[in-house]
Structure 1
Amino acid sequence: MAIPHIVDNRRAYLLALAAVLCWSTVASAFKLSLQAVSPLQLVTIAALTSTLLMAAVISWRRRWNLVPGAWQQNRPWYLVLGFCNPFLYYLVLFHAYDLLPAQQAQPLNYTWGILLALLSVPVLKQQLRRRDLVAALVCYSGVLVIVTRGQLLGLQFDQPLGVALALFSTLIWCCYWLLNTRIGGSAEINLLLSFLCGLPWLGAALMVQGDWQWPPLAGWLGAIYVGLFEMGIAFLLWQAAMMCCDNTARISNLIYLSPPLSLLLIALLVGERIHMATIVGLFLIMLGVAIQQGMLRRLIYRG
């Protein structure tokens, strides 16, 4: 799929909505796939699938001549990025999904945007704004509502390890993107090289585990789906949408459709009964992200 270079806002909306739809399905795909495969098997098959997809995209765009130069220029960074993603990030995230209901793991994963803003202060030397602190307070209050199922005074977590892993995955993802800012260049080339550096870590983990069992067909299909849509196609669709839109703010807000759509699919496909505490907590998390991005200020100013 070639990246368009002309402004076409209608096409941008369609591409962005397609990406959001892909992202909305992955929480259900994670949970259903983990019924048939282990977290390590899931991330390994998915990462291999995504690597092959990126190789196909680079071939389609005839950019293989750029790969050696990118590797020579940023080799140390790719080695670090490959350890973070896909190896560590998805392994931790899938273990969290294995322990938690999907309706809890999915909203917790959305707190990475707030954490990224906070980490940008010491790492990128950015200024800490008052709205960042307010956003963090609102966002993590939503986390407490979700993990305690609304019983805030008791502060009893059903799966504290799962909660810790879900929140730790957001830290890994933030570190990945902060490191990624140092590289720049072609997105698919960066993904290909970082995934190629991550696959040996996954292979080593499989050897240490020493208990590889051939997954059933449902496991293969689920893992391939995750590799194609979570790690690959959705990212490329969103990148294409950003390239053919005259104002990225017009489509960036569409990402807020993903969490409620995801909860709907979790109820329909996974069969989980969505708790009111999950809905309230997700609202607080999305409100915190909106505050952090200045959306409320823009709405008030327009009003």
Structure 2
Amino acid sequence: MSSATLAGCGALLLWAFLALLARMAAGLPPLELTALGFAVGGALALAVVAARGRLALLRQGPLAWAHGVGGLFGYHALYFLALALAPAVEANLLNYLWPLLIVLLSAPLLGLHLGARRLVGVALGFSGCVLLVGAGASFPPGATPGFAAAIGCALVWAVYSVTSKRMAAVPTEALAGFCLATALLAGVAHLLFETTILPDGRQWIAVLLLGAGPLGAAFFLWDAGMKRGDPRLLGTLAYAVPVASTLLLVVAGEGVLSWRAAVAAVLVAGGGMLAATARS
């Protein structure tokens, strides 16, 4: 496994804590949380880039900015909205359709071979998500928009991740600018559409941890992995993240591990492991 692919794995580890930290910040409007988290992550990233004397790399073309800001803002605004409107465990697992979509989109967008083993793994992961919200599942009123947001953020992140391979010329340092622009865009949208809530101590801790990890360092690691590593392998290994993320939510008392959620998590992770062992 290349060092770039290992960097992508580091991002997956940090993202296992995304749902838990987002639930720690519960009560903050989705766009406000997006703005605060990215302001922290962008400021830390900018400090690192400046210390390395590479601020000039933030000068990128309109397409690079549209790709970076669109992916970061679109995914996280929808993700935080999903966790605010739907049960955390189910919404979080639906969000992890994105590894499945990365594997599928790698073929038409990048011309990479999938093969029968990867397709079977993808099918298993998808069946887990169908079981989660299919016939017989029971949810509180109003959860459907949250589930739709979870599926939407999965699609946004999959497209962003796969197309990152075609943006290989954009240096990873440019993400510092993309994060700050995302914070600004989310902040403006928050002021237009939401009511500001002053974070309490617990929420501030969650925001700072989000900015340092899942909304900060993870993006740089993921960018390196998707541009210079194997997107098929990273997309399939990401199936292990929903299991870890779901268990963290349950242990923290932020959700209940129903038999549907447990079986869905096993199917999602098992499908990923099967696809990850496929030959190139």
Question: Considering the TM-score relative to the shorter chain, is it more than 0.5?
Answer: yes
In structure 2, give the amino acid aligned to 1:46.
Answer: G
Tell me if 1:276 matches 2:276: no
Describe the shift of the 1:258–1:133 C-alpha distance in structure 2 as closer, same or farther (beyond 3 A). closer
Percent identical: 26
Any conservation in 1 of the 2:100–2:236 contact (CA below 8 Å)?
Answer: no
- TM-score in terms of structure 1 length: 0.75
2:129 match:
143
Any conservation in 2 of the 1:16–1:237 contact (CA below 8 Å)?
Answer: yes
Tell me if 1:182 matches 2:174: no
The Cα of 1:126 is off from its aligned counterpart by 4.0
Match among 188, 199, 211 for residue 227 of structure 1 = 211
1:167 match:
151
2:190 match:
206
CA distance in structure 1 between the partners assigned to 2:193 and 2:41 by the alignment: 23
Any conservation in 1 of the 2:239–2:269 contact (CA below 8 Å)?
Answer: yes
Any conservation in 1 of the 2:21–2:210 contact (CA below 8 Å)?
Answer: yes
Match among 123, 145, 156 for residue 109 of structure 2 = 123
In structure 1, give the amino acid aligned to 2:212.
Answer: L
Describe the shift of the 1:272–1:178 C-alpha distance in structure 2 as closer, same or farther (beyond 3 A). closer
1:28 match:
20
CA distance in structure 2 between the partners assigned to 1:113 and 1:263 by the alignment: 16
Describe the shift of the 1:180–1:207 C-alpha distance in structure 2 as closer, same or farther (beyond 3 A). same
Please say which structure displays the higher CA radius of gyration: 1
The Cα of 1:255 is off from its aligned counterpart by 5.6
CA RMSD of aligned residues (A): 3.6
CA distance in structure 1 between the partners assigned to 2:174 and 2:70 by the alignment: 13
Structure 1, residues 195-251: CA drift from partner, whole Å, max 9, x if none?
Answer: 233234213312312632322232222122211111123445678999xxxx99999
Structure 1, residues 18-64: CA drift from partner, whole Å, max 9, x if none?
Answer: 76653332211111212x31111111100111111110221233322
Say which is worse superposed, 255-264 or 190-199, in terms of deviation. Answer: 255-264
Any conservation in 2 of the 1:28–1:102 contact (CA below 8 Å)?
Answer: no
Any conservation in 1 of the 2:29–2:197 contact (CA below 8 Å)?
Answer: no
User: What runs of 5+ residues in structure 2 fail to find an aligned partner?
Assistant: none
CA distance in structure 2 between the partners assigned to 1:126 and 1:18 by the alignment: 23
- How many residues of Structure 1 are paired with residues of Structure 2 in the alignment? 274
CA distance in structure 2 between the partners assigned to 1:241 and 1:131 by the alignment: 22
Any conservation in 2 of the 1:92–1:165 contact (CA below 8 Å)?
Answer: yes
- TM-score in terms of structure 2 length: 0.80
In structure 1, give the amino acid aligned to 2:25.
Answer: S
User: What runs of 5+ residues in structure 1 fail to find an aligned partner?
Assistant: 1-8, 299-303
